[in-house]
Chain A
Amino acid sequence: MTRNFANWPIVLVLLIISTPIIIMYAFLVIDTVTTSPPGSAIPNGFTLSHWRFLIDPTATGDVWRPTLTTILFTASIVVIVLGISSTAGYALSRLNMPFRRYFLAVVLVMHAFPLVTLIIGVFLVLQFVGLYNTLTGVVLVKAGLMLPFGIWIMKGFYDTVPWEIEMAGVQDGASRFTVWRKLILPQVKPGLFALALFAAIDAWGEYMLPRILAPSADFEVLSIYLNTVSDPDSTTYNFNLFKSVGLFYTLPILALYAIFRDRLMNIFGGGTKG
């Protein structure tokens, strides 16, 4: 737009406040393929040995089992969140029912409301229903905690669909369910897609719930695996190794983000509506 101001001072200041991020992420990539002498951060040699954990389970334990578990974990959460949000969002956006107003207010409060506070209560609920220490339990809780957000987003997308489509369907004698299934759902595909992306990224990064709600379970997700590998107090602590594992763990997210940046920005910004 305007060219009558110099840009370089701004860029300089921006660079300075971004230094920690730049250094951390640059070295996250560099350190996985280089070696550096002790007591220095500057690399002096190229190596692929830090990636050996991919084929050699002796270094850190098998990485593929946690990877599969994480994929399963993420996929189940995405399916649950999409399924429930798309029906509930529709109900709140379009259907006539009692207490709709209050329900919407409650969903909004839940969305604004920090969920981690409830973890003690959730822990007790899982203990009572016997889902403590199970993958099912963690999946349900994680999906449940994402729901208010999902419902709210989907409601927003349904709100933008013209009423005429629905009226035409009802006029022609279709039931409300058929109208939703055949006419409205295709209209909110972008919303479903964005929500799926968001839920996938969120679930993929989840650490606390599996750690707290399934501490001694026989499954391990990648976040737990990474945290075990990167405990600075352990004797086998190795910056290069945990960075390789970390990069391996984060690559799918970075890829999704790079490919679908625009759609994600939509939901990152729009998801936190006023």
Chain B
Amino acid sequence: MPARSYLTGLAFLSPALFVLIGFFFLPVVLTAVFAFTNMSTSTGISGGSYVITGNLLGSLKAQGVAPTVVDALSQASFVVDEQSIAKAQAAGTDAQFLAEIEQQLSGKAFSEERAFERELKSLRYRPRSIRDLKLAVDQFELSVLNTRFASAAEAREAVSELVPSAPADVVDEIVDASYTGWRWTTSNFTRLVSSSDTWRLVGNTIFYVAVTLSFTVFVGLFLAVTTFYLPAGAASAFSMLWLLPRITPVVLYTVMWKWFTWEGGFVYTAAQALGLPAFNYMKGSVPTAWTIVIMVNGFIGAAFAMILFSGALKAIPVQQLWASEADGASRWQQIRFIILPHLRWPILFVVSYQTLSLLSSYQEIWLTTNGGPGRTTTVWALESFNTALNSYTGNLQYGLGAAMALILVIVGVALSILYLRLFRFDELLSRPKIEF
């Protein structure tokens, strides 16, 4: 009964499926979807409304909308009709006063607030306080400026009511431009391609990945090979020491680097004592900032590489080494002709795995230099994160950030699939032996 065993499998798998769909599949889809929107803090995540603002009118004028229409829209007018009287009644304006307004001013319109106010002041039942009078005046104001309309139809109605002369397509244009929610667009990508910042980011990222990766591999190799030759005690002391960066929580680890390189920190104090230039090395100059970023990440990577390489070294048949020594091989020859060939696959693995994780890692950079000084140590992943979730100006551009992240996702998936082929995925898979 294959169906039944399928069900068992699915039942075992379902909790994992649920979480993985929620936190992997869905985020990937959302990233892809929102990469094609202009969503930001100001547009909100759910839908928006229609608001005609002063700024918008200014830009509409610049776009060639007839000035008469724009001016009419920006003007408030005061109209006494059934609608406005009902509105004032609902707002609690004195009934006698209202009746008088209706009687004397019905059907009249005023383009200036002052004129209307003067007219009201001359009435017998006017309220005593100026504040109440102003409140009453407000009820008769007819303006679209800064009013929030929930739907396009409402906004269209309000605009055509205020400017009956405006042609329908102009009204549509105004209403469309007044939408505050997000919309579909490909401008994120055109912006990325045309911006010169983008290419600098790409350059930074390539530099960062290449140098950190070389640091990781060479230091990792050096550590693994040297500890391999050292007596057990010294070897385990060094390997434990180098594991510390990998297991220390990232906040403490980066804060320790800050202590090490910040103003008043260790290197600063030492440099002062020796008469060398002392400044905040993490933020004071570009070369020192890069050096620190690379070391902060490189130390973590080197620990990872060391573990893998040491594991692989232990698998080398020791007779090969004995034999080479009996033949008079120098240590360098041993490393070159026995050890390195054995480490080919582990090295390839570290390179592929680290490329991917360095490409997308920004946690350490964020917590140390935060891309500074200026934006010199900003990499692609950090910029994408800052754009979408961590902007100084307070306007988080989810759309643009998602577009940047999407590019990383695509690169990441392509590389992972390539690696799966490289590391022979098929061999990892065996068929179940109980079929029923």
Does B202 sit at the interface, judged by CB under 8 A?
A: no
Question: Which among B311, B388, B434 is the interface contact of A167 at CB below 8 angstroms?
Answer: B434
Question: Can you report 20 A-B residue pairs in the complex whose CB atoms are below 8 A from each other?
Answer: A1-B321, A10-B229, A11-B230, A17-B219, A24-B257, A96-B432, A96-B435, A97-B5, A113-B413, A116-B363, A117-B409, A118-B31, A119-B389, A120-B27, A124-B45, A159-B430, A166-B434, A176-B5, A180-B12, A205-B249
Q: Tell me which residues across on chain A come within 8 A of B360, comparing CB atoms.
A: 114, 116-117
A24 touching B260, Cβ below 8 Å: yes
From residue 189 to 247 of chain B, which have CB atoms closer than 8 A to chain A?
A: 219, 222-223, 226-227, 229-231, 234, 238, 240-247
Segment at the interface with A among B125-133, B163-171, B262-270: B262-270
Does B362 sit at the interface, judged by CB under 8 A?
A: yes
Q: Tell me which residues across on chain B come within 8 A of A140, comparing CB atoms.
A: 19, 22-23
Q: Tell me which residues across on chain B come within 8 A of A212, comparing CB atoms.
A: 389-390
A5 touching B28, Cβ below 8 Å: no
CA distance A232 to B265 in the complex (A): 11
Interface residues of B (CB under 8 A from A): 2, 5-6, 8-10, 12-13, 15-17, 19-20, 22-24, 26-31, 34, 45, 219, 222-223, 226-227, 229-231, 234, 238, 240-252, 255-260, 262-266, 269-270, 272-273, 295, 299, 304, 307-308, 311, 318, 321, 325, 331, 345-346, 349, 353, 356-357, 359-363, 367, 381, 384-385, 388-390, 398, 401-402, 405, 408-409, 412-413, 415-417, 419-420, 423, 425, 428-430, 432-436
Question: Which among A88, A98, A120, A265 is the interface contact of B6 at CB below 8 angstroms?
Answer: A98
Given contacts A97-B9, A112-B416, whether A145 and B16 have CB atoms under 8 Å apart is no
CA distance A22 to B242 in the complex (A): 9
Q: Tell me which residues across on chain B come within 8 A of A20, comparing CB atoms.
A: 260, 295, 299
B9 touching A91, Cβ below 8 Å: yes
A147 touching B20, Cβ below 8 Å: yes
B434 touching A170, Cβ below 8 Å: yes
Q: Tell me which residues across on chain A come within 8 A of B412, comparing CB atoms.
A: 113-114, 117
Given contacts A114-B412, A124-B398, whether A250 and B249 have CB atoms under 8 Å apart is yes
CA distance A98 to B9 in the complex (A): 9
Q: Which residue of A lies closest to B295 (CB)?
A: A20
CA distance A120 to B229 in the complex (A): 46
Given contacts A4-B325, A121-B28, whether A101 and B432 have CB atoms under 8 Å apart is no
CA distance A210 to B307 in the complex (A): 29
Q: CB-defined interface of A154-178 with B at 8 Å, one 1/0 digit per residue? A: 0000010001001100100000110
Given contacts A96-B6, A124-B45, A243-B259, whether A23 and B27 have CB atoms under 8 Å apart is no
B28 touching A223, Cβ below 8 Å: no
From residue 22 to 70 of chain A, which have CB atoms closer than 8 A to chain B?
A: 22-25, 27-28, 39-41
Question: Which among B10, B17, B295, B405 is the interface contact of A117 at CB below 8 angstroms?
Answer: B405
Q: Tell me which residues across on chain A come within 8 A of B249, comparing CB atoms.
A: 204-207, 223, 226, 249-250, 253
CA distance A98 to B304 in the complex (A): 36
B307 touching A269, Cβ below 8 Å: yes
Given contacts A10-B230, A97-B10, A223-B251, whether A23 and B23 have CB atoms under 8 Å apart is no
Q: Tell me which residues across on chain A come within 8 A of B304, comparing CB atoms.
A: 268, 272
Given contacts A7-B230, A96-B9, A109-B417, whether A118 and B248 have CB atoms under 8 Å apart is no
CA distance A98 to B269 in the complex (A): 64
Chain B contact surface mostly? helix
B259 touching A123, Cβ below 8 Å: no
Chain B nearest CB from A38 CB (Å) reads 8
A147 touching B434, Cβ below 8 Å: no
Does A84 sit at the interface, judged by CB under 8 A?
A: yes
Question: Which among A10, A206, A246 is the interface contact of B252 at CB below 8 angstroms?
Answer: A246
Q: Which residue of B lies closest to A207 (CB)?
A: B251
B432 touching A95, Cβ below 8 Å: yes
Given contacts A120-B388, A121-B28, whether A141 and B23 have CB atoms under 8 Å apart is yes
Given contacts A39-B272, A116-B381, whether A18 and B242 have CB atoms under 8 Å apart is yes
Q: A112-B416, A120-B384, A250-B249 are in contact. List 7 more A-B contacts (CB 8 A).
A: A1-B321, A10-B229, A87-B13, A88-B12, A118-B27, A121-B402, A123-B389
